[in-house]
Structure 1
Amino acid sequence: MKRRTALTLALSSVASRARAAEPIKIGALLSYSGVFASIGDEITNAMQLAFDHAGGTVAGRPITIVRADTEVRPNVALTKARELVGSDRVDLLVGPVSSSESIPLRDFAHQRRIPLIMPHAALDNLFGERCSPYILRTSFSGNQFGRPMAAWLAQRGVRTITLMAPDYVGPRDLMEKFEAEFTRQGGQIVGREFTPFQRTHDFGPYLARVKQQRPDATWVSYGGAEAINFVRQAADFRLSEATRVTGSGWTVSPLVLPAQGDAALGFQGLLNYAPSIDTPENRRFQADYRSRHGRTASEFGAQGYDTGLFIAAALRALDGRTDDKLALARAIRDARIVGARGPARIDPATNNIVQNMYIVEVRRGSNGPELAVLDTMPAVTDEPNGCQMRLEG
């Protein structure tokens, strides 16, 4: 009996050490090609930096990232998710970039009961009526980007606005949130311009209509290459002489600002991050990111970095155990971090991030245009909006 007990303990010890040596696999389900390739790369690079800052291992298990390119196509995203979970046997998923990909990925993760952390795009109803205990958002909500900016502009005398964005689900959702708050504040929307996504190279006809409408401000939301083209062409059209140019801050993200140059000067927007945030955590993040990648990290990098901090905190709380996926999702939800963006947590009522939001303006700096923080809205959250955390459905 004693020999059998000793043998059992020895085998258990060997199995425990074997489990400890197994890597913790993070499935990065992001865009690594196409219009959002730079965003996917930056989120991944910054998330890796967060894991390195956390020591790179938890309970003897190294943290590794397994990349999968969604190609900004929902059907490809779903196929890659199945491969990551079924073949690569990842412990959790991080993604996507495009909002259009988030719908099938939400259903897949919920049905397979595997945590899915959304570090950039996601529709608000995925954290409202379609919320899931397995789906968490570390980026932002449409309300977080829409409401504060709309109120801020209205309080500063803006009464009429034209809205302009690419024609797909994410920007439309964000535009609706902005419009609802702006009209509630007594403002009027005098025009809406939707440009074909990834197919608009000449913004001239749209800019001409905006100038004819002569709104107090024009609110826009573009990203990546489209943001570069829009800002350059808006400057050529002297749009800022006819209207105040504002919008979502990623239109002038540090990721695209160097290419926009002086054309972006004066743009005012709302972001959940600015490189100029003066905290020890952000200074360390920026210094190490610049050392590795030779440039300033953007809000996309900050979202990736803070996502990595949430994951690392959850893994430490569980002593590196990842077999219970619901416990892993709840540990991420319960984590509290102070990251590049400042203090952040996940609201248990919605699984949406609670974070500071910043009004920024593009100004001329010592090394070219840069984002200056004009105002801070602390701990911006969302109402539950119909969310009930069900394991089924």
Structure 2
Amino acid sequence: MNKKLFMFFSLIFLVTLLAACGNSAIQSNSNSESSNTEESTEQQGENAGEGTIKVGSILPFSGVYASLGKDLSDGMKLYFDSVDWEVEGKTIELIEEDTEADPQIALRRVRKLMDQDNIDILTGAVSTAVAYAIRDDVDTNKLPYLASHAGGDDLTRGQRSDYIWRSSFSSWQIGHSMGEWAYENVGEKMYVAAADYAFGREVSAAFKDAYTAAGGEIVGEVYPPLGNNDYASYLTTISGVEADGVYGFFAGSDAVRFVQQYEQYGLKDKYTLVGSGWLVSEDLRESIGDAAEGIFASSFWDYSLDTVENQEFVAAYEEAYNRRPTVESLEGYDAARVIVEAISTLGGDVSDPDATVEAISNVTFTSPRGTIEFDKDTHHIIQNMYITETVIEDGRTENNVIHTIDSVQDPGE
């Protein structure tokens, strides 16, 4: 055999050998992929067998509302801890996403929770704008959603959905509950000062409706921008009017600055200041100082509520987190209980969203805030509202509950 012929047959042999090795490697890889797929399927089967119920939570963990998000989250976890994260033999998995209080970011997070995490129930949202932004996706996908803070009226009115229920409050409940009491206990003429954004406007409108319906007169209104530092011009305007009191709606750092400057400009001695619970909330009064003394406010819960349920909640929260609970902590705690109670009613089967929201609608219990239940027409919580007075006790300001308005029900229109 000549040299060229030998090289030709050698080349054919080498190509055949490589092809055989390649087929073997491909077959081996195919077998490996098949094995991995089977393992993945088996793992999914095992996860399904474990019976995990996935609860998605959208809260702000960064940005201006981060502290509210943390308190809501801690309240939820405290209740889930109390039932060992189990209900009807199913494990509760809480998947939290940071909305950054941004509607578009929140929408992306909700889609991720639905499409990738396959959640069974959604809760959360501090910002009303966030709740409105996710409303259509929740409704279209028939995702049971329990709003645990956002208070915009329209969420359970014009934008009402079969799959959206609210366990927190509405703007109307907060503002309206103070109106009649202010007329009967403060006087016949009131001035309104509120932060200029949707929630501030809604709460103030509800107060004005109730106050004027009782016989009172609104003698003036002013709406400083949200995030305002200097209220001097607004307070100077108020100081020149004839009124018995001022209704103020401010929250966070705005509340701290408004209440402090209200005293500094001499209005505290001239007009009784009333407002929402956020004006003198648990997490702000230390920063406000003694300027908070004498303010009357309306809220659906307060640290000072003297009930067994509230005392147990406060003690458990302080033991777990070494700080006082806020109204947001209570909202998270109650939202978690509503979810657990609903799942329990269903025997742990949350596969049917219509059955799940029906179960939510039937939940009622005595919360640290008092007895709560849902209005099946509006999907909104029915709850007590409380009037508090801020006093100084043992060198610090405290809120005392001085009046209860039983079973306040949002009109839904």
* TM-score with structure 1 setting the length: 0.90
- Give the corresponding residue for 2:406: 378
- Give the corresponding residue for 2:219: 190
- Give the corresponding residue for 2:393: 365
- Give the corresponding residue for 2:69: 40
Stretches of structure 2 that go unaligned for 5 or more consecutive residues are: 1-42
- Give the corresponding residue for 2:322: 294
- Give the corresponding residue for 2:333: 305
- Give the corresponding residue for 2:368: 340
Distance 1:24 1:105 in 2: 21
Alignment equivalent of 2:232, drawn from 189, 204, 220: 204
| AA at the equivalent of 1:288 | A
Count how many residue pairs are aligned between Structure 1 and Structure 2: 371
| AA at the equivalent of 2:354 | L
- Give the corresponding residue for 1:102: 131
- Give the corresponding residue for 1:146: 175
Given the alignment of the two structures, is residue 323 of structure 1 paired with residue 351 of structure 2, yes or no?
A: yes
Shift of 1:15: 9.0
User: 1:157/1:221 Cα in 2 relative to 1: closer, same or farther (>3 Å)?
Assistant: closer
**Is the CA contact 1:98–1:170 (under 8 Å) kept in the aligned structure 2?**
no
Distance 1:210 1:105 in 2: 39
Higher RCO, Cα 8 Å, sep 6+: 1
Shift of 1:364: 1.2
Given the alignment of the two structures, is residue 31 of structure 1 paired with residue 60 of structure 2, yes or no?
A: yes
Alignment equivalent of 2:253, drawn from 203, 212, 225: 225
Alignment equivalent of 2:278, drawn from 239, 250, 262: 250
Distance 1:305 1:353 in 2: 15
**Secondary structure in 2 matching 1:195:** coil
- Give the corresponding residue for 1:267: 295
| AA at the equivalent of 2:235 | L
Distance 1:358 1:54 in 2: 29
| AA at the equivalent of 2:155 | L
**Is the CA contact 2:390–2:400 (under 8 Å) kept in the aligned structure 1?**
yes
Stretches of structure 1 that go unaligned for 5 or more consecutive residues are: 1-13, 386-393
* TM-score with structure 2 setting the length: 0.85
Given the alignment of the two structures, is residue 179 of structure 1 paired with residue 201 of structure 2, yes or no?
A: no
Question: CA deviation digits over 1:313-342, x for unaligned, max 9?
Answer: 011111222221221121111111211101
**Is the CA contact 2:138–2:145 (under 8 Å) kept in the aligned structure 1?**
yes
Given the alignment of the two structures, is residue 82 of structure 1 paired with residue 111 of structure 2, yes or no?
A: yes
Question: CA deviation digits over 1:32-80, x for unaligned, max 9?
Answer: 2222111111111001111122332113322232222222222222122
| AA at the equivalent of 1:142 | S
Distance 1:317 1:65 in 2: 20
**Is the CA contact 2:176–2:203 (under 8 Å) kept in the aligned structure 1?**
no
Shift of 1:164: 1.6
Shift of 1:225: 2.1
Distance 2:369 2:350 in 1: 27
Alignment equivalent of 2:269, drawn from 234, 238, 241: 241
Shift of 1:214: 4.1
Shift of 1:158: 1.6
Shift of 1:366: 2.8
**Is the CA contact 2:295–2:390 (under 8 Å) kept in the aligned structure 1?**
yes
Distance 1:257 1:88 in 2: 40
Distance 2:331 2:395 in 1: 24
**Secondary structure in 2 matching 1:220:** strand
Off by >3 Å, runs of 4+ in structure 1:
14-18
- Give the corresponding residue for 2:79: 50
Alignment equivalent of 1:276, drawn from 293, 304, 328: 304
**Secondary structure in 1 matching 2:263:** helix
Shift of 1:139: 1.0
Shift of 1:306: 1.0
Shift of 1:20: 4.7
| AA at the equivalent of 1:365 | E
Shift of 1:236: 2.0
User: 1:351/1:167 Cα in 2 relative to 1: closer, same or farther (>3 Å)?
Assistant: same
**Is the CA contact 1:124–1:142 (under 8 Å) kept in the aligned structure 2?**
yes
Deviates more, 1:42-51 or 1:99-108: 99-108
**Is the CA contact 1:364–1:370 (under 8 Å) kept in the aligned structure 2?**
yes
- Give the corresponding residue for 1:8: none
User: 1:126/1:161 Cα in 2 relative to 1: closer, same or farther (>3 Å)?
Assistant: same
- Give the corresponding residue for 2:9: none
Residue pairs, 1:56-75, within 5 angstroms = 56-75=85-104
